[in-house]
Chain A
């Protein structure tokens, strides 16, 4: 079945450090890929998305490129801030062949990020 794998956390970085969170996926159809962020005590917020191969999603300084050849969607940010401390979830939603609508979202286990001053 479809699945998402993320790098193990927690990740601790100093402010202004470079961030990479690895994500790989398994899917049989035509997935769209997402990064969601969850701040402490809150629900999920969509951070960015990409809907087809080679698309780059970006938001708030975060970027991720849909790599079909490596089935990856790694999240990057050039300079993290303390306010970026949160749990990051890689996810996919797949549209099966010849269907027009998207199905459920499948999430990875999440990667906790702590940024220290």
Chain B
């Protein structure tokens, strides 16, 4: 049973560029959440997708956008990259049903903006 997978593992971009990160959820899961983890800090919630729609959003600018596909996989897009966007981006999947509270995390994509 495959867990959450993310691609690419590492990425280097320059300021002003755009980036797309990808996530495949754990088998059987229908909900994908994205988190940003800056160096030395805890992950911060970006947004969550369910049924191909953004269900909830954290305190991130509109430069951060996402998409969920019919097979439940997801993309995170960041436009007009800033140096401060350098971080580990984590995808988590879960099942949106009663009393299911656990999110399972992928290994992350490490983004460096120069």
Q: A67-75, A78-86, A93-101: which lies at the B interface?
A: A93-101
A-B contact count (CB 8 A): 65
**Residues of chain B in range 58-114 having any CB-CB distance to chain A below 8 Å:** 58, 88, 90, 92, 94, 96-108
How many positions in chain A have a CB within 8 Å of any CB in the partner chain? 26
**Residues of chain A in range 86-117 having any CB-CB distance to chain B below 8 Å:** 89, 91, 93, 95, 100-110
Name the contact of A107 in the complex, choosing from B43, B98, B99, B101 (C-beta under 8 A). Answer: B43
Q: Give every chain A residue within 8 A of B108 (Cβ-Cβ).
A: 42-43
Interface string of A44-88 (1 = CB under 8 A from B): 111001010000000000000000000000000000000000000
Q: Give every chain B residue within 8 A of A95 (Cβ-Cβ).
A: 101
Interface string of B39-57 (1 = CB under 8 A from A): 0111111001000000010
Not counting A46-B104, A102-B101, A107-B43, a sample of 5 additional A-B residue pairs whose C-beta atoms are within 8 angstroms of each other reads A34-B102, A43-B108, A44-B43, A51-B99, A89-B43
